[in-house]
Amino acid sequence: MSAAGLVAVPVRRRRRWTRLHWAGLAMAAPAVAYVVVFSLFPVLYGLRISFTRYNPLRRGGPQWTGLENYRDLLHSAEFGRSLLVTGQFVLMVLPATIVIATGLAVLVNRPFRGIGFVRSALYLPNIVSLTAVSMIWLWMYSQHGLFNEVLGAIGLPAQDLLHNENTALAAAAAMRVWKALGSNMVLILAGLQGIPNERYEAATVDGASSWQRFVNVTLPGLRPTLVFVVAMDIIYLAQSFAEIYVLTQGGPLGSTTTVNYLIYTTAFQYNQFGSAAAMAFVLFAFVAGFSLLATRGISGRRG
Amino acid sequence: MVVPRALRFAAAAVAFTLLAACSSGGDDNATGAGSGAKHLTVWFPGTDPAESALVKNSLVPEFEKSTGATVDVTYVDYANLSNKLAAAFAAGTAPDVFGHGPAAVADLVVNDRLEPLPVDQLPAADRDDLTSALPGGQVDGKQYLMPLQMQGWLLAYNKDDFKAAGLDPDQPPTTWEGLRDAAKKLTVRDASGRITRSGLLLATDPIGREQSFATLIASAGGSLVDTAAHKSTFDSPQGKQALDYYVSLFNGPDAVATGLGTSFSANPPAQQPLVQGTASITLLAVNAIQKIVAAAPAKHFGVMQPPKFEGADHGAAFGGAGPGLMINADSKAKDLGWKFIQFMIGKDVNQRYVQAFGGLPVRASASASPYVTASPVLTAAVKAAPQFVPNPNVAGWVQARDKMDARLEQALNQKASTADALTSMAADVDDVLKKSQ
């Protein structure tokens, strides 16, 4: 038999796990267990609950009802309205937050005396809990609160923004914008500092104005950061609860009843956990969808 | 294959955690197990510091001394009480005895969470003394809640405002129609026509709306729910009369009140409209009126007996049984729990209890006590007690009440006519009550 007729057959050797591999797995196990137990399992259990009728007061635990909860949501005017309110809230807060935070980031991206203090002051709202911020703004909006005192001082009548159907959601949104500016500013500032100076220098050499540099250098350079910020803000804002709970309790006339607030009342005031869970997963689907659409729109990617 | 010890330990930890997370609490209640029914856990509702101090530092030690039992008392704020109870029941860790408002009772009953109270074991004299209180804690004829206080919403008014308006402060109106006429004289407007002082201010905040409406419809001779049929009854001529009146207070050129949706019921005394002078007459809980009188001694306040609508037999006010105590059906210390409840409604104990927070005693005989007779507010409240109308004890009432509240809000804000609001309200409530059975 000639050598040309021989064909080399590769020998596949089974990869042998070493003690090092097992040690690594052992070290990762607690973190994995934590994620599984406290994140993945609750989500899956919640998904299961969404297919049941479950009142914790009732003996016997959850009762399987299939898609009943989801079908009910399709016909629920209350849930539909809460989706609209949530969408309105996001649309009120998100653009204002992005624009103002970007402006602030550009402002604090240049050196000047007291820059540290300014940055810290702008970031401060972010480290105060949303509930505490809401309590403070509740006072500021009250009849004898800061805003009405200022209005009175300049001869204008007092306003009852939180009890007016047409202004309550905007009032909550204003507070939320104020709360969100700091964190978004920091993220955008980091994005700004990641843009190479050479691009600005090149643009300057080409005779670009400040505005042109902002539009053609800054914004494109910020695109990855903005994608992240928009996605995260949509996720957080769509789950707004604390500010609604403190400021308006879903009123007046249901004008501030967000999905999360409706979930809260359905689950914890009426003990209808199955329906509440279904609402949560429908909200998740909406949030995921809109986040994806928004981030693709900003990033310019096509599906 | 040799599995390292560390990995085996981690796997065991994960498995244990998963099993713990997957297991349900079941219906077994370990409370009292092994204690030979000499240990009692009690949850009280609310966060009043004076009340909790009295209960924990005085009343419970007295009970423990007299019975040889040990009692663990926890105060849970109302905002979280229902949530914590639901979680505790699901987990099988609910307390032996717990307190809540009457609105919650029927839901607990329909879910078989409450032990009926053997009120027939009480002496006849005691049952008579509790005549006004007991009905509010009954569901389908059985007693489940033992009220520890009466509650009532009465009209408090500023006597000085009455005098200034040419009204007799010692002879307030006895009908709602008369009240409206008086309110017109008491209402103050600024140059632009905006009301700066409400002549008659009823609550229009969440829950307060339903309570205001309950007062008005009862005063018109109507009712909210047929508890036997589990069906609403407020879409009626009396309901229309009540709601029309309610809406007219805040709307139109003859409005006598302002501040729709604004909450004041739970405000500190100094911020009450009566004290601030932004209202001449307000509907308030008795204990709130007590606090107002104490907080503003320079002002002269009066309390009206419940007015009626012309043509009705008698006036009425939202109230009746207040928060009280119930026994967990799964408790292993039911007898001890019942002893504790009896202790809490004892004549002396109950008076000390309600006095801690300015509440209204649960016993009719307390009307002669120094605590009541020294207070014009409490004296008026005790006199009005037979006219108190409690929340209907039907399963699903909390949600039904919120449905009512939403429709009442629409009517008050003139987003719907009163007739349409009542019709929609009835449909909403009937749907909830039907599903809750």
Return the pLDDT at A15.
75
Average pLDDT for A199-213:
93
Helices (H), ranges, B92-235:
105-110, 124-129, 159-164, 176-186, 208-219
Q: What is the ipTM of this complex?
A: 0.80
Please name which of B154, B181, B200, B150 lies closest in space to residue B307, comparing C-alpha atoms: B154
Question: CB burial class (10 A; 0-12, 13-18, 19+) of residue A195?
Answer: middle
CA separation for the pair A199, B9 (Å, rounded): 55
Contact A160 B7 (CB under 8 A): no
Contact B402 A265 (CB under 8 A): yes
From residue B282, alpha-carbon distances to A39, B27, B53, B211, B240 in Å are 50, 46, 31, 13, 22
Whether chain B has a CB inside 8 Å of the CB on A55: the answer is: yes
Average pLDDT for B16-23:
48
Structure tokens at A237: 């804002």
- Closest chain B CA to residue A165: B413
B381 with B286: CB under 8 angstroms?
yes
CA separation for the pair B291, B297 (Å, rounded): 10
A142 with B262: CB under 8 angstroms?
no
Please name which of A188, A230, A196, A189 lies closest in space to residue A213, comparing C-alpha atoms: A196
Q: Which amino acid is at B274?
A: L
- How sure is the predictor about B8, in pLDDT bands with cuts at 50, 70 and 90? low
B84 with A271: CB under 8 angstroms?
no
Residue from the list A37, A157, A252 with its beta carbon closest to the beta carbon of B409? A252
Please name which of A186, A269, A161 lies closest in space to residue B82, comparing C-alpha atoms: A269
- How sure is the predictor about B30, in pLDDT bands with cuts at 50, 70 and 90? very low
Q: Which amino acid is at B416?
A: A
Please name which of A121, A118, A98 lies closest in space to residue A223, comparing C-alpha atoms: A98
Return the pLDDT at B34.
34
B272 with B201: CB under 8 angstroms?
no
Return the pLDDT at A253.
94
Q: What is the DSSP letter of B368?
A: G
- How sure is the predictor about B11, in pLDDT bands with cuts at 50, 70 and 90? low
Contact A57 B194 (CB under 8 A): no
Q: Best residue in B76, B262, B265 to probe A by mutation, most A CBs within 10 Å?
A: B262
Instruction: Name B413's Cβ contacts closer than 8 Å, sequence gap at least 6.
Output: A165, A252, A253, B260
Contact B27 A59 (CB under 8 A): yes
Please name which of B257, B275, B286 lies closest in space to residue B153, comparing C-alpha atoms: B286
Structure tokens at B176: 């709602």
Q: What is the dihedral of CA B401, B402, B405, B407, to 10 degrees?
A: -110
Percent of chain B with pLDDT over 70: 92
B40 with B70: CB under 8 angstroms?
yes
- How sure is the predictor about A2, in pLDDT bands with cuts at 50, 70 and 90? very low
Average pLDDT for A117-146:
92
Contact A268 B82 (CB under 8 A): yes
Higher pLDDT, B337 or A16: B337
Question: CB burial class (10 A; 0-12, 13-18, 19+) of residue B367?
Answer: middle
Return the pLDDT at B356.
92
What is chain B's mean pLDDT, rounded?
Answer: 90
Which chain A positions have a beta carbon within 8 Å of B83's beta carbon?
268
Q: If contacts are CB pairs under 8 Å, which of residues 59-118 in chain A contact chain B?
A: 59, 61
Q: Which residues pair with A80 in a beta bridge?
A: none
CA separation for the pair B69, B40 (Å, rounded): 7
Residue from the list A29, A56, A252 with its beta carbon closest to the beta carbon of B14? A29
Asked whether the predicted pLDDT for residue B68 surpasses 80, the reply is yes
Instruction: Name A218's Cβ contacts closer than 8 Å, sequence gap at least 6.
Output: A106, A192, A195
What is chain A's mean pLDDT, rounded?
Answer: 91
What residue has token string 């909790």? B52
- Closest chain B CA to residue A142: B262
The highest-confidence range among A4-8, A25-29, A205-209, B159-163, by mean pLDDT, is B159-163
Residue B131 three-state SS: coil
Which chain A positions have a beta carbon within 8 Å of B114's beta carbon?
none
B171 with B424: CB under 8 angstroms?
no
- How sure is the predictor about B391, in pLDDT bands with cuts at 50, 70 and 90? confident
Please name which of B207, B116, B126 lies closest in space to residue B402, comparing C-alpha atoms: B207
Stated as kind and residue range, the H or E segment containing B11 is helix B5-22
Residue from the list A30, A58, A269 with its beta carbon closest to the beta carbon of B10? A30
Tell me the per-residue pLDDT of A17-59, one tens digit each, with 9 for 90 and over: 899 999 999 999 999 999 999 999 999 999 999 999 999 988 8
From residue A179, alpha-carbon distances to A130, A140, A160 in Å are 8, 14, 21
- How sure is the predictor about A4, in pLDDT bands with cuts at 50, 70 and 90? low
Exposure of B288 in the CB half-sphere (CA atoms within 13 A): 22
Tell me the per-residue pLDDT of A266-280, one tens digit each, with 9 for 90 and over: 998 899 999 999 999
CA separation for the pair B295, B123 (Å, rounded): 40
Which chain B positions have a beta carbon within 8 Å of A15's beta carbon?
none
Which chain A positions have a beta carbon within 8 Å of B87's beta carbon?
56
From residue B203, alpha-carbon distances to A44, B208, B215, B269, B341 in Å are 43, 5, 11, 16, 33
Q: Per DSSP, which regions of B253-383 are E strands? A: 281-285, 301-303, 317-321, 324-328
Q: Best residue in B28, B111, B405, B435 to probe A by mutation, most A CBs within 10 Å?
A: B111
CA separation for the pair A217, A213 (Å, rounded): 5
Q: Which amino acid is at A123?
A: Y
Contact A251 B17 (CB under 8 A): no
Q: Which amino acid is at B192?
A: S
Please name which of A22, A20, A33, A18 lies closest in space to residue B6, comparing C-alpha atoms: A22
- How sure is the predictor about B266, in pLDDT bands with cuts at 50, 70 and 90? confident
Three-class HEC string of chain A: CCHHHCCCCCCCCCCCCCHHHHHHHHHHHHHHHHHHHHHHHHHHHHHHHCCEECCCCCCCCCEECCCHHHHHHHCCHHHHHHHHHHHHHHHHHHHHHHHHHHHHHHHCCCCCCCHHHHHHHHHHHHHCCHHHHHHHHHHHHCCCCHHHHHHHHCCCCCCCHHHCCCCHHHHHHHHHHHHHHHHHHHHHHHHHHCCCHHHHHHHHHCCCCHHHHHHHHHHHHHHHHHHHHHHHHHHHHHCCCHHHHHHCCCCCCCCCCCHHHHHHHHHHHCCCHHHHHHHHHHHHHHHHHHHHHHHHHHHCCCC
Average pLDDT for B234-260:
96
- Closest chain A CA to residue B276: A144
